[in-house]
Amino acid sequence: MNTIINYLDNMFASLPKTEQIQKLKEEMLVNMEDKYNELKNEGKSENEAIGIVISEFGSLEELINEFNIDLEAKESSLQTLDEKEVNDYIETSKKSGNLIGIGVGLCISGAALLILMTQLVEGGVINGLSESVGDMIGLIPLFILVAIAVGMFIYAGTMMDRFNYMDQGFELSTAQRATIKNANDSFRRTYTRSIIVGVMLCILSPIILITTEAINENASNYGVIVLLGMVAIAVYIFVYFGKINETYKKLLKIDEYAHSSKARKKEDKVIGAVASIVWPLAVCIFLISGLIYHQWHINWIIFPITGLVFAMFSGVYSILKKDEK
């Protein structure tokens, strides 16, 4: 494949680096790669496959005339990312996704520890403490874990700040795009499996709650703790592997990243503004219902409901904005 990539680079070297030319080059690479793989599967040697592929795609002049490409168009002023920048962006995105995933898991674990402490006090495992004191003690690990999580979120954000220039637009060389596309194709199977595992954990987690509820009411509280633990693992999987998937999509400019960065940033700003209101409100309701009304055994459901409602809003808003484009 490197021979084909070098062939294309040499073929297009003398042409202006316009958006039309770059698009034609990328389409040719995809078609030539498909044909090359097809010939290899038929038993052709590498040299035979490359020779047939190059000979079948005609001259560059014919392709320019066929696609009616304007050679006088203004060249693209977008920055071309080098290999080091691309690799740094991918690795930093993975680290950022890992930190965010762990941070979210710590927040959920804090709620689980709070419920555990309350249950230990109410069940008499820890003697000499009133329910209110048990609640206050349970809040300590919750706030500590949330504080650590917030620190992780901030650090993860600062790690990605140095790549903000990419929001203004960028280009990839033909070889880089081919390499990233192959990496993305290989990652698709891992991503699909991770999503399946995460969804299965979310679906199976209520079984623990139902089983413990059938035993007795006190045991059901421990079921909630196990449920939250399974959800924390699922959320980590969604965040970490979702971040990697988002990274490849941004580099390859597919799906939502095919739209202009200005429109996408406006969309993200609206969703972020709603999130800054909805989630703190959910936390306030959680704390009030627990500290004042002692509903720790059931108020954990506030967060899954908030998550579902917010996900519905984000999805509907994104779809509506895409329809306007």
In angstroms, the CA 321 to CA 325 distance is 7
Q: Which residue reads 């490359």 in tokens? A: 50
pLDDT values of the chain reduced to their tens digit, one per residue, 325 residues? 677 777 777 766 666 666 666 777 777 777 778 888 888 888 888 888 878 877 776 566 666 665 555 555 455 556 778 889 999 999 999 999 999 989 888 888 888 888 787 777 776 667 766 666 766 777 888 888 888 988 998 899 899 888 888 877 788 877 788 888 889 999 999 999 999 999 899 888 888 878 877 777 667 778 888 888 888 898 899 989 999 999 998 888 876 665 555 555 565 666 666 766 777 787 788 778 877 777 766 777 787 777 767 767 766 766 666 555 5
Domain ranges of the chain: 2-66, 79-258, 259-325
What does the alpha-carbon distance between residue 318 and residue 33 come to, in Å, rounded to a whole number?
33
Report the C-alpha gap between 63 and 60 in whole angstroms: 5
**C-beta separation of 239 from 97 below 8 A:** yes
As beta bridge partners, residue 79 has: 170
Type of residue numbered 77: S
> What pTM was estimated for this model as a whole?
0.70
